[in-house]
Amino acid sequence: MTQTVVVSQLGARMHYAVARILAKEGRLGHFFTDICGTKSWPALLRLLPPALLPRSVQRLVGRVPNGVPPELITDFPLFGVRSAIRRLRIEDAAEEASHAVWAGSRFSTLVATHGFHNAAGLYAYSGDALEQMQAAKRQGLWVAVEQMIAPRAVVENILAEEMRRFPEWAGPVQTNPHAEAFAARERAEWALADRIVCPSEFVRDHVVAEGVPAERCVVVPYGVDATDHSITTVRAPGPLRILTIGEVGLRKGSPYVLQAAERLGAAVRMRMAGPDRLPEPVRRRLSRSIELRGIVPRAAIADEYRWADVFLLPSLCEGSATVVYEALACGLPVITTYSTGSVVRDGVEGLIVPERDPQAIVDAVHYLADNEDVRATMAANARLRAKEYTVEQYGARLLGVLSSLNGSTA
C-alpha cells in the first residue's frame, strides 16, 4: 500500500490498533478521535497526579494512541466531554441507541468538515461514519467501514427475544424508537463502502443476509499483543475456576451463565468481571452462585485471567470478542458460542456450545473438570492459537485488504 489513509474512531477500542498499524507503516494520513490524552486539555490533566482526578477522568485522559504522532491527530474534546456526560445519564436501551445516533452523526460531521489531508482512503466505524463517508466519496476517496458487531436489526431482534424470556432482567419488551435510525445509518454506510470489514464470519454472514454483496464483505479477525498477556496460569487445587469478562447482561448470555452456575453448585467457582445495569433482585440471585467483580481496571485484569482455569463467554451476538483472544493468550481453554465470533476451534482450544443452552455449558464444564489432560492440552493449544492472532498479524491482514483498495501492493 503506497497511499495514505485517514482513520476516524470514537473512543479507544482495541487501543487504537488501526491508527497505530498505519502509523507504523508510514501510511496514516490523519487520525480523528473524540478525546486524546496527548492533545489539548487532556494532555494538561495528564501532568497531574492520577490520585487527584476522578476515575472517569483518569480513563478519558488515559486514552493515548501510542505510536501515532500528535501532529497527525485531531481530537474534539468538547464534543467528547459532552458525549461522556450524556453516556453517564443513560438508563435503558432506548437512551443508549439515541445517544449512539447523536454521537455518531455529530462526530462524523465534525470529521467531514475538517477534510481528509490528501489521503487516498478513509477507514471508519459503522454507525459513526455516514457523513464523513459521503464527503470522502465526493472527493474521490475509497472508503472502508468496519462492522464491529452484527447489524443493529439483528442485535435488536436478539435482545427482544431475550427480554421476552427474562423480563426480570430488563423489564418487558419495548420498541426502541431509535434503533431503526441507527440501522438506517448502517445500511447507508454499507451502500457507500468499497469494503465492509467484518471481524468474524458471524458478522459477515449477517451483513450479507441484509442484502450486501458478499464480495464487498471481508473477514479480518482481531489480534492482541501477546506480551501484554504473558502470564502463567497454574491449576489450583479444588473446584474448577470459571471466569467471564464483559458487561453482565442479556446479549452476553448472562442468564444462561447463571442457570449453569446454579446447576453446577459447589463443583466450580465462578467469577463475572464487568459492569451491569441489573435490577437488584437479579444481582442478588447472581451473587449467590457467582462472584461479581464489577468493573475491573485494565491494569488489574491480568489478575483475573491468572485466577482462572477456564474462560466462559456464551454470547448471543458479538463482533469478535477481544477478551477471548486475551484468554487464549493467557493459556485458558474457552467455552464459547459461534455467535461470539471467536477463533476458538471446537475440541482444540476449547468447546463451542449452542447459544441459550445452560446444560451444554454444564456439560462442557464437567468435561474439562473431569479430564485434566484434555484441559491441559487445550490450554497449550490456546497459547499457540493466540500466536496466530497477534496485533502484528491483524495488521498484516488489514493492510492486505486496504492495499487491494489502492490497487497496489503493500
Once rounded to an integer, what is the mean pLDDT over residues 176-193? 94
pLDDT at position 4 over 90: yes
pLDDT tier at 176 (50, 70, 90 boundaries)? confident
State percent of the chain over pLDDT 90: 76
Residue 15 CB: number of other CB atoms within 10 A? 18
More confident residue, 280 or 14: 280
- The residue among 351, 354, 350 whose CA lies nearest residue 332 is 350
Residue-range domains of the chain with CATH:
5-223+391-406 (3.40.50), 226-386 (3.40.50.2000)
- Give the confidence band of 408 by pLDDT, cuts at 50, 70, 90: very low
Contacts of 126 (CB under 8 A, 6+ apart): 145, 146, 147, 148, 185, 186, 189
* For residues 149-175, average pLDDT: 90
Closest CA to 254 of 262, 26, 308: 262
For residues 324 and 313, the answer to whether their CB atoms sit within 8 Å is yes
The better pLDDT of the pair 190, 1 is held by 190
Whole-number Cα distances in Å, 175 to 86, 185, 250, 314: 21, 18, 16, 25
Average pLDDT over residues 281-303: 92
Mean pLDDT of 89-104: 88
Q: What string of DSSP letters covers 93-140?
A: HHHHHHHHHHHHHHHHHHHHHH--TT-SEEEEETTS-HHHHHHHHHTT
Nearest to 406 by CA among 7, 214, 119: 119
Query: pTM of the full predicted structure?
Result: 0.89
**Closest C-alpha to 199, from 146, 145, 246:** 146
Query: What mean pLDDT do residues 54-79 have?
Result: 82
- Cα angle 362-365-371, degrees, rounded to a multiple of 5: 135
Q: Which residues make Cβ contacts (< 8 Å) with residue 221, sequence separation at least 6?
A: 199, 200, 320, 343, 389, 394, 397
Distance CA 242, CA 231 (A): 17
Instruction: Give the pLDDT confidence score for residue 299 in this predicted structure.
Output: 77
Report d(CA 56, CA 231) in Å as an integer. 28
Residues 93 and 175: beta-carbon distance below 8 Å: no
What does the mean pLDDT of the chain come to?
A: 91
Q: Which amino acid is at 168?
A: E
Q: What's the gap between Cα 132 and its chain centre? A: 22
391-406 vs 17-24: helix crossing angle, rounded to 10: 70
Q: Are 226 and 386 in contact (CB under 8 A)?
A: yes
Asked if residue 33 has pLDDT above 50, the reply is: yes
Longest dimension (CA), the chain: 63
Report the Cα 158 to chain-centroid distance in Å.
18
Judge whether 241 and 273 are in contact, CB under 8 Å: no
pLDDT at 406: 73
Across residues 173-185, what is the average pLDDT? Answer: 88
Mean pLDDT value across residues 198-226: 94
Q: Give the full edge-to-edge strand order of the sheet including 5-9.
A: 73-75, 28-33, 5-9, 121-125, 142-146, 195-198, 217-219
pLDDT band at 227 (very low <50, low <70, confident <90, very high): low
